[in-house]
Structure 1
Amino acid sequence: MTEQDRLAAIQTVVDRVTSWQDGATEGTVADELRRGSEEVGVDLSDDEIARLADVIQDRHGAVSAAEVLSEG
């Protein structure tokens, strides 16, 4: 899987979690990110999940996985 494919798969998961989990606790968001990444076959580190969950919680809207993960 190329890095571009990986980011596209992660973005799909982030979009799904963002739309389903608006207002959910950060722990729930992190769990859903883990579950979704397993479903699409992408490994995310605990740090990547934590960063994505933080941004999803803070923004309550569109989140760019590529931007979030490039900040780390």
Structure 2
Amino acid sequence: MSDQPTGSATDEVSDARQEAAENVVERVESWDEGAEPATVREDLQEGMEQAGARVEDAELDRMSEEIHDDGSTEAPEVE
């Protein structure tokens, strides 16, 4: 048995990474709405790397197309 309380440091890091990914998406949505998908994708990828959030290429493609077409997207689930 562990003396560690419920909710480990790993969970806290994961939660922080998820929150950072959501912030990246919000920032890119506001800055890049209507921009070409390649520009949106580049900004998403750069922001996710800075946030330490790993996102699959297909997910970046999906999000960039949605931001280009609709101005918004769902934040990805990150590790």
Per the alignment, residue 55 of structure 2 pairs with 44
Are 1:60 and 2:71 an aligned pair?
yes
Pick from 11, 20, 32: which aligns with 2:22? 11
Are 1:35 and 2:50 an aligned pair?
no
What's the % identity of the aligned pairs? 34
Structure 1 residue 64: deviation in Å? 2.8
TM-score normalised over the length of structure 1: 0.75
- Give the superposed CA RMSD: 1.7
Higher share of residues assigned helix: 1
Structure 1 residue 51: deviation in Å? 1.2
- How far apart, in 2, do the equivalents of 1:40 and 1:13 lie? 8
Q: Which runs of 5+ in 1 are unaligned?
A: none
- How far apart, in 2, do the equivalents of 1:48 and 1:64 lie? 10
Structure 1 residue 60: deviation in Å? 1.5
Q: Which runs of 5+ in 2 are unaligned?
A: 1-12
TM-score normalised over the length of structure 2: 0.70
Are 1:25 and 2:24 an aligned pair?
no
Q: How many residues align?
A: 65
- Name the amino acid aligned to 1:64: E
- How far apart, in 2, do the equivalents of 1:51 and 1:29 lie? 11
Q: State the 4+ residue runs in structure 1 displaced beyond 4 angstroms.
A: none
